[in-house]
Chain A
Amino acid sequence: MANAKLWGLKKSPWVFHVAAASCNNCDIEILDILTPRWDVERFGIVLVGSPRHADALLVTGVLNRKSLPRVLRVYEQTPKPCLVICVGTCTCDTHMFAPSYNVVGPYDKYLPVDVYIPGCPPKPEAMIIGVVKALARL
């Protein structure tokens, strides 16, 4: 069964987008890769509205005290195996927000992360390559 899921995941990963405490830019760049210039729907990558339908989580922004429990809950609701793809420098480390009183630390302290895509914001090409690399590893 797990293999069937893996097979499905590789063919057409459905992604759910979780913005923890981002500045919006990574999020609009994620939307950007759905629009005509990049059009990742060609490869079966679809943005879905519920974590329960998702194969991969695209996370953006730093984790703060209020969003951490919610992000963990979204992760729990996602059927496993699922990929966690960190988009943006904010997610890879804590960017320039590290000294803040409200920021709780990088994602890999709390979640198993599969891919890091650094950049502020990463270019759409970089995001696509990141997803492709994650899929190739499966």
Chain B
Amino acid sequence: MKRIVPIGPYHPLQEEPEFFKLIVEGEKVVDLEINIGYNHRGHEFLAQKMTYDQVTFLVERICGICSDSHPYAFVLAVEDVAHVEPPPRAQYIRTIIGELERIHSHYLWLGLAGHFIGYNTVWMWVWRYREPLLDIFELIMGNRNHYAINKVGGARRDILPEHYGQIDKYLDLLEEKNTMFTKAVLDDPVIRARLENVGVLSKEDAIAYAVLGPTARGSGCAIDVRKDDPYDAYDKVDWDEIVFDEGDVLAKAKVRLLECFESIKIVRQCLRDMPDGPIETRVDEITPGEGICRHEAPRGEVFHYVRSDGSNMPARHKIRAPSFMNIPSNVVAVKGYSIADAALVLAAVDPCYCCTDRTVVLEDGKKKLTGKDLLRLSWQKTERLRRRYRR
């Protein structure tokens, strides 16, 4: 007989509010429904009421864990509209911070994964070595999170020569500890037993759901914007893409752990090759037009679209975060596993609900605007704008 296990919206499983309806038969999960929307704050709407400089701060606050990736993607999109090229030093700085953030985000996930399987030692351990990284962020940019390094046309702060030593020292420590964690995860029979062959997402499903980032790379799909469509300093450094074929939670954990080594490699090369010079170009005008950017965030590709009408505010700003693609894949990944594994499988894609939340308007319990209506409205608006700004 089918029963329903409701989880959420406020539950100890995950940090953010979301509602899971696990449909179970005995111990086995047979279906899953995910209800989101508790986190919707209307960023795209707010972005159209702020100047480009303010929007960088706004999009930073979409998500706190990958708080560099949204502003990074946004400034790249605006630079695409305005046809500005940031100076080389700024490109390197942004790459370094982007990679350091990847390490911080992967460590955060690893710790939480340990917490979800009830292995709090891993959590405490991993988060302990995340702290020095936050100190480095504070040293360079003045805040532990939300560091605001990105700016249209360059970087907001410079990495000073006296910081190099500290970053190097941390990278050495991290390399040692990351080796230790990798070994610990691979050798620990308890962790293996909980992660191996759990939440398998096959390659076909991965492609069908169009998953991104470590979730895709753990299922044998080699997609990474840093390799496929390099931006900033990524084409000037040498690193490897980590891909595993198994598709289970262990593969995803391995992808993330080994990616940290690659990030260390990238940061080291960037620090070595970073040229001197200015860190920003002056941007006087954002020309009318549209720009896009794809940036590889810790969770996958984030996509930003900006349309400018020549004023100091974006006329339209569209955001698609990687979790938006990754979370639906949970529905196939969790099927057939026990309720005890569900907590882990649901967290395996490193879900980020604050990036994902959308909203619908209900009228008498029915959707007021369906997908088709919205599409039609969007086309109409595009047409209107096009007519208005035709040159």
A-chain residues with CB within 8 Å of residue B354 when the two chains form the complex: 21-24
A-chain residues with CB within 8 Å of residue B87 when the two chains form the complex: none
- What's the Cα separation between A101 and B37 when bound, in Å? 14
Q: Mark B58-73, 1 if CB is under 8 A from A, else 0.
A: 1001111101000000
Total of A-B residue pairs, C-beta within 8 Å:
121
Chain A, residue nearest B115 (CB): A31
Chain A, residue nearest B357 (CB): A21
Q: Mark B93-133, 1 if CB is under 8 A from A, else 0.
A: 00000000000000010010000000000011001100100
Choose the segment among A2-10, A59-67, A110-118 that binds chain B (4+ C-beta atoms closer than 8 Å).
A59-67
B-chain residues with CB within 8 Å of residue A47 when the two chains form the complex: 12
A-chain residues with CB within 8 Å of residue B54 when the two chains form the complex: 96
- What's the Cα separation between A47 and B46 when bound, in Å? 34
**B10 interface residue (CB < 8 Å to A):** yes
Question: Which of A24, A37, A66, A100 interacts with B37 by CB under 8 Å?
Answer: A66
Interface residues on B, range: 35 or more
Knowing A23-B62, A74-B10, the reply to whether A66 touches B40 (Cβ < 8 A) is yes
A-chain residues with CB within 8 Å of residue B352 when the two chains form the complex: 24
**B163 interface residue (CB < 8 Å to A):** no
- What's the Cα separation between A50 and B11 when bound, in Å? 7
User: Among A26, A66, A121, which residue has the most Cβ atoms of chain B within 10 A?
Assistant: A66
**A55 interface residue (CB < 8 Å to B):** no
Q: Mark A6-18, 1 if CB is under 8 A from B, else 0.
A: 0000000000011
> Number of A interface residues, CB 8 Å?
41
**A70 interface residue (CB < 8 Å to B):** yes
| Contact yes or no, B40 A64, CB < 8 A | yes
8 Å CB contacts to A: which residues of B52-93?
54, 57-58, 61-65, 67
Knowing A27-B15, A64-B38, A102-B41, the reply to whether A70 touches B10 (Cβ < 8 A) is yes
Question: Which of B50, B62, B128 interacts with A36 by CB under 8 Å?
Answer: B128
State the Cβ distance, A8 to closest chain B Cβ, in Å.
Answer: 21
State the Cβ distance, A71 to closest chain B Cβ, in Å.
Answer: 8
Complex A-B: 6 CB contacts under 8 Å: A21-B17, A36-B124, A37-B131, A70-B10, A102-B41, A103-B42
Q: Chain A residues in contact with chain B, CB under 8 A? A: 17-29, 31-32, 35-37, 47-51, 61-62, 64, 66-67, 70, 74, 95-97, 99-103, 120-121, 123
